[in-house]
Amino acid sequence: MDSIVITGGNRLNGTIPISGAKNAALPLMIASMLTAETVTLENLPDLADVESLVRILTNHGVDFQVEGKRKGQAGQMGRVVKFTAGEIADTTAPYELVSKMRASFWVLGPLLARCHEGRVSLPGGCAIGTRPVDLFLDSLRALGAKIEVENGYVVASAEGGLIGTHFKFPKVSVGATHVAMMAATLAKGQTVLENTAREPEVVDLAKCLNAMGAKISGAGTSTITIDGVEKLHGCRHRVLPDRIETGTYAIAVAMTGGDILLKGAQPDLLQEALDTLVRAGVTVEPTNEGIRVSRNGTDLIATDMETQPFPGFPTDLQAQFMALMTMAKGTSHIKETIFENRFMHVQELARLGAKISLDGQDATVEGVSELTGAPVMATDLRASVSLVIAGLVAKGTTTVNRVYHLDRGFERLEEKLSNCGATISRVSE
Ligand code: UD1
């Protein structure tokens, strides 16, 4: 299994291009199942999660082609990819495929909307918490679906099609918002969804669905209204830049010191995280080309942070921010409010010399003057990258194992960092 080996101590200087957002790419790809015509996605990131989803979509009969290349050719996960679901060949999403990535469960929305049936494996447990599916099922039931859970599968049907409804989510969920919104595009009549997720990826999906002929308004607010249409058509859509990748590299340069242009990044996608970095003593400047982040000579200031749904501080940047706070002057408090078990990076950061204590959802980080390299590993994507960030300043060598977690969500991570002066490489065993 591959590992990433880092020798800490180099400042980061230069330009890092920001990729298309993983969390937008996945629902956009799934949305292509809603039409028999071709949905062309530009700026699709080359990631293991995108590849896993391609496998699932292929199983449902979705054809995909990289623009200018034929299926199966090397480099097929290029930047512009066409998805065509001429016919849905199979309405079952099997355990072997769904268990690899939770978001693949989201195919249930388009299957119900277009085929009026779907049999999708429950996604199962997850390293960062129990992550139930009640909100998905309740909203789809409100749209008229009959749903049973049998032998680990959600078996859903909507004879005659889904019907517009008024549904208020008891809790904000990004995935359940995506799915209910996709399902409602082809329902009869109007659907009003309340307490919806306001994440930029929801807005991006709504934009793409509208380009496909859907009638959605209010995406980006807590109430989304969808007027059902009979049919959707193809479109061409550009995936928005990855705000988590942006925040991760911003935190990396905050940690090492230096000056980086995050090319193509959009500040409005992560304003709260950028404001938090400014409070921590980091310089953040929006430019025509993206966001410039620098820290030159100033100390890092201990800064409290609490994760919240958008527009709050994203849970997907919590681990990285905690890594940063391990080197700040003073004591900071970090609260995780979205997932109940998202502190797995804490004991690994401790192996590098960090001083962190946990009390339920609260972490107290006491800044230290130095981290020291060690072998570490992590059990999820964002935790893994927090260890890479810590490794960039740790004295000596840090080896991050289980690299497949990083490959799920960070495109060309080593290349992007080494181009800016980091000593980082991938080692195959
Ligand atoms: C998405 C993101 C993930 C991010 C998360 C929160 C993708 C592919 N993933 O995950 O990176 O960390 O949003 O910003 O976009 N919940 C329920 N019942 C449900 C569904 C969710 O209780 O039916 C709970 C979850 O356990 C969690 C909270 O709601 O505590 C938020 O989860 P949710 O927004 O659904 O996360 P995902 O969409 O899975």
Mean pLDDT of the chain: 94
Mean pLDDT value across residues 273-280: 98
Which protein residue has the closest C-alpha to ligand 1 atom 25? 131
Neighbours of 327 (CB within 10 A): 23
Q: Helix or strand or coil: residue 315? A: helix
Axis-axis angle for helices 243-256, 271-279 (nearest 10): 10
Could you say which DSSP state residue 19 is in? P
Which protein residue has the closest C-alpha to ligand 1 atom 24? 131
Tokens 């804490």 correspond to what residue?
346
Which protein residue has the closest C-alpha to ligand 1 atom 32? 173
**% of the chain residues with pLDDT over 90:** 87
397 close to 352: Cβ distance less than 8 angstroms: no
Catalytic residue, from 126, 208, 235, 420: name it.
126
Band of the pLDDT at 414, cuts 50, 70, 90?
A: very high
**H or E stretch covering 170:** none
The yes-or-no answer on residue 235 being catalytic is no
User: How many domains does the structure of the chain reveal?
Assistant: 2
- Which of 184, 213, 238 is the last residue before a domain boundary? 238
Cα 256 to ligand 1 centre (Å) = 31
User: What are the start-end ranges of the H helices in 212-317?
Assistant: 243-256, 271-279
- Gap between the terminal Cα atoms of the chain: 6
- 391 shares a domain with 297: yes
Q: Which atom of ligand 1 is nearest to the CA of 49?
A: 8
Mean pLDDT value across residues 48-76: 81
For residue 130, pLDDT over 80 is answered with no
- 329 shares a domain with 196: no
Cα 171 to ligand 1 centre (Å) = 10
Full-model pTM: 0.95
Does ligand 1 come within 6 angstroms of the Cβ of 171?
yes
- Which of 184, 207, 238 is the last residue before a domain boundary? 238
Cα 310 to ligand 1 centre (Å) = 12
335 close to 364: Cβ distance less than 8 angstroms: no
pLDDT (0 to 100) of residue 172: 96
C-alpha span between 124 and 235 (Å, rounded): 33
268: which 2 tokens? 């409005």
C-alpha span between 419 and 49 (Å, rounded): 24
- 329 shares a domain with 188: no
Tokens 């391990």 correspond to what residue?
326
Tokens 């509208």 correspond to what residue?
210
Q: Which atom of ligand 1 is nearest to the CA of 338?
A: 30
Does ligand 1 come within 6 angstroms of the Cβ of 245?
no
Q: Which atom of ligand 1 is nearest to the CA of 138?
A: 23
Those residues with Cβ within 8 angstroms of residue 394's Cβ, 6 or more apart along the chain or in another chain: 6, 8, 352, 353, 371, 372, 373, 374
For residue 77, pLDDT over 60 is answered with no
Does ligand 1 come within 6 angstroms of the Cβ of 339?
yes
Q: Which atom of ligand 1 is nearest to the CA of 130?
A: 26
Count Cβ atoms within 10 A of the Cβ of residue 161 and give its class: 0-12 exposed, 13-18 middle, 19 or more buried. Answer: middle
- 259 shares a domain with 216: no
Does ligand 1 come within 6 angstroms of the Cβ of 169?
no
**Which stretch, 96-110, 214-228, 333-347, has highest mean pLDDT?**
214-228
4: which 2 tokens? 């990433």
For residue 68, pLDDT over 80 is answered with no
Cα 133 to ligand 1 centre (Å) = 9
28: which strand partners?
Answer: none
- Amino acid of residue 100: K
337: which 2 tokens? 């409010």
Quick: pLDDT tens for 347-384: 999 999 999 999 999 999 999 999 999 999 977 888 99
pLDDT (0 to 100) of residue 76: 41
- 116 shares a domain with 225: yes
Does ligand 1 come within 6 angstroms of the Cβ of 50?
no
259 close to 294: Cβ distance less than 8 angstroms: yes
- 327 shares a domain with 223: no
- 214 shares a domain with 280: no
Those residues with Cβ within 8 angstroms of residue 425's Cβ, 6 or more apart along the chain or in another chain: 4, 5, 414, 418
Q: What is the extent of the structural domain holding 94?
A: 22-238
pLDDT (0 to 100) of residue 348: 95
**Which of 18, 46, 25, 82 is closest to 204 using CA atoms?**
25
- 327 shares a domain with 216: no
For residue 423, give the CATH number of its domain.
3.65.10.10
Quick: pLDDT tens for 218-264: 999 999 999 999 999 999 999 999 999 999 999 999 999 999 999 99
- 43 shares a domain with 10: no
Mean pLDDT value across residues 285-305: 96
Quick: pLDDT tens for 14-59: 999 999 999 999 999 999 999 999 999 999 999 999 999 999 999 9
Q: Which atom of ligand 1 is nearest to the CA of 173?
A: 34
- Which of 186, 215, 238 is the last residue before a domain boundary? 238
Cα 338 to ligand 1 centre (Å) = 8
- 355 shares a domain with 251: yes
Q: Helix or strand or coil: residue 241? A: strand
213: which 2 tokens? 């002929």
Which protein residue has the closest C-alpha to ligand 1 atom 3? 316
- 370 shares a domain with 257: yes
pLDDT (0 to 100) of residue 313: 98
Which protein residue has the closest C-alpha to ligand 1 atom 13? 174
**Which of 364, 24, 57, 381 is closest to 207 using CA atoms?**
24
42: which 2 tokens? 């530009």
- 279 shares a domain with 218: no
C-alpha span between 261 and 379 (Å, rounded): 30
Does ligand 1 come within 6 angstroms of the Cβ of 242?
no
